[in-house]
Amino acid sequence: GAGVSQTPSNKVTEKGKYVELRCDPISGHTALYWYRQSLGQGPEFLIYFQGTGAADDSGLPNDRFFAVRPEGSVSTLKIQRTERGDSAVYLCASSWDMWTNYGYTFGSGTRLTVV
């Protein structure tokens, strides 16, 4: 597609529920990144993929968070047993690959609210 697409744009869920956030990267981009942005702060790294494999998941806050990219294109960020502190905007970005310094293209994000 023309840009990075994230769905849903907004998600409200109850504490303790499971949520999935989807990211469609730009066609041909092999690197995909997930960031989390709390209100009034800069994005914080969660995980990135080169192709199908998670090259670095050191930013995932705990084992309730998991992400997959089974076919090297679409990625899903999964959050189990959601907590109110998980409320934030989850941003996805893609780039040509992880070895060159090309800038990312970010999606518009999914605003997650845990009530």
Partner 1 sequence: GENVEQHPSTLSVQEGDSAVIKCTYSDSASNYFPWYKQELGKGPQLIIDIRSNVGEKKDQRIAVTLNKTAKHFSLHITETQPEDSAVYFCAASRAVNAGNMLTFGGGTRLMVKP
- List contacts with partner 1 (CB under 8 A): 4, 31, 33, 35, 40-45, 48, 50, 55-56, 59, 91, 93, 95, 98-101, 103-109
CB of 83 to partner 1, least distance (A): 23
Q: Name the residue with tokens 């992400």.
A: 67
Nearer to partner 1, 6 or 82 (CB): 6
CB of 15 to partner 1, least distance (A): 25
Q: Which of 113, 111, 62 is nearest to 91 (CA)?
A: 111
CB of 41 to partner 1, least distance (A): 6
- Residue 92 burial by Cβ neighbours in a 10 Å radius (0-12, 13-18, 19+): buried
CA distances from 89 to 5, 6, 79, 80, 110 (A): 14, 11, 13, 17, 5
- Residue 93 burial by Cβ neighbours in a 10 Å radius (0-12, 13-18, 19+): buried
Nearer to partner 1, 21 or 31 (CB): 31
Nearer to partner 1, 64 or 111 (CB): 111
Nearer to partner 1, 65 or 80 (CB): 65
CB of 43 to partner 1, least distance (A): 5
